[in-house]
Chain A
């Protein structure tokens, strides 16, 4: 039997060689341009672009290390065109680093690995020039504090127009008109007049609108918004989320919303990825996640939120705190705080296991504590 198997294998070597060569050729091509590979040589530029857009974002095994410590570890998720994915978790779990890694803006000496397949290309292998183009034309980012991205010495109109002429090679007059259009698109009153105002002349909510207008200048396919409403008051936050919802519907852009606020998530997201200590521990459609969380951390987070519709004498709190990247517990990183932890939980990192319709959770309780192989 063994001899027979070996014989078959030996005779199959030439075939295997050819197959693996072809596979290698495809793999080598894929990160470069998956779309042109899929479309074939006869595809027109238009068809190719449409295919590219359909591929959306597919992140695989994304890892960010500072020296020996991973602050983002083996993170995978996909975002379809027009979809809103929320990345949630408590502070320090790696949300912002994930966002920065997607556009390769992680500060030195951080190192990124894995794959960020966006519209058919792996952004992690692009040249710096091409990457700048992607950042300007296809992916835009907004942050919690817009003042860090706005230049205080130039008018808002000047800054939006500059973004436009840089990306779209527009004339100065056309850029100014487009800048006014963008400001009214984000519902800034008297947009044309406000073009000549400086950033400090705007309130926090209005500055965030200006940031969104600048981000939209290039008509991005993907908007990454890192805590965009965290510094804003409740009524202004509601206005900004409504604005993002409207823009997403009108412009068809995908959004990655990074937030620690589960309320904002339930209000806006289609899908959710919950992060804990650098890893994704649960991913699910938003409604399903809130209705029935599958990971004990998600469950604990939801239970510890004070509610507006019911009164509880005590909140179900999670004991302890999030471990820093340099003091991670062995096995499941949530184990020291988990009410369901058992000995096998410390044996190894639980992988993301299927946990129902389009959802997964990194918890071996799902398999009755069968240790991951």
Chain B
């Protein structure tokens, strides 16, 4: 399978500022050298607990924030090397959808204005053409034409996410980065939005980087899955492999921690302790402070993410 997005050695450390009489705090190693591949026309699911670096990864890919190191290739083009003009062109083809799509938008704008904005920015069509496109977008995400005159606060969470999707689709992108798109929704509405995303993906041959802390949702959406822990990818595999035969002790613990109603009761691996601070990650394997299988060498050597089967990579000395 060809990749539409390839990330290698991507790194972002957030540096705090020094105070007048204070040393700068140690940097937050939010993303610490990760490799990812989003299959063309498919979905890479990025899963992990809060603070492991998922959102930072999504923002880095779109250059909403700048990386410290690493390369980002989108459809063969070096995203980090793009100048302002190229970046604007790239951003037409890479869009992002957030958990709350209106967190950053002007609440005084109507849905029509929100959906029209991308066309205005990119100088596409006259007023009549833009109106047609807005109506087509609303239709694509299952909203009615009369919704265009309303303001975001007049919509329920599920409808707001539909509008967020419509805006992301306005410029016919090739890649969508979806950062926890259904995490704020109730399950019945979550199912509606997930179905819609799958339909849109099929109809428009979209590729997706789908970010979520919810394993079941990721399983439903993704073809490939990457599991992050404390700024690094610990395991990546095709969906069926990852869920049927996870190899990394963290993936196994994470899977066993999620109760599956109606499913079989699985043996639970209860992890001790909590996630360490990303400013001071443990030496060697970052998971070793909680790993039930940790050995002395885990504190000394960083386990490399290496292939154990075609398409299945694991970062563990024992795998």
Contacts and interface: CB of A to CB of B under 8 A. Distances in A.
Contacts of B219: 306-308, 311
B191 interface: yes
Interface string B159-194: 000000000000000000000000000111111101
Interface string A240-267: 0010000000000000000010111111
Contacts of A235: 49, 253-254, 257, 270-271
B158 A301 contact: no
Main secondary structure of the interface of B (DSSP, over half): helix
A266 B259 contact: yes
B261 A265 contact: yes
Contacts of B23: none
Contact of A90 (B49, B186, B261, B270): B186
Given A203-B274, A311-B219, A234 B195 contact: no
B198 interface: yes
Interface string A204-221: 011000000000000000
Contact of B194 (A238, A264, A306): A306
A238 B290 CA distance: 14
Given A233-B50, A238-B270, A308-B215, A301 B187 contact: yes
Interface in A247-294: 260, 262-267, 290-291
Contact of A234 (B257, B262, B274): B257
Nearest to B255: A308
B254 to A, nearest CB: 6
Contacts of A306: 191, 194, 214, 216-217, 219-220
Contacts of A308: 215-216, 219, 243, 255, 258, 260, 263
B85 to A, nearest CB: 41
Contact of B270 (A203, A206, A242): A242
13 contacts: A234-B215, A235-B271, A237-B257, A263-B260, A266-B259, A301-B187, A302-B261, A304-B190, A306-B216, A308-B215, A311-B240, A315-B220, A316-B191
Interface of A: 90-91, 203, 205-206, 233-239, 242, 260, 262-267, 290-291, 300-302, 304-309, 311-319, 321-322
Given A263-B258, A307-B260, 5 more contacts: A90-B188, A263-B261, A290-B262, A309-B260, A321-B158
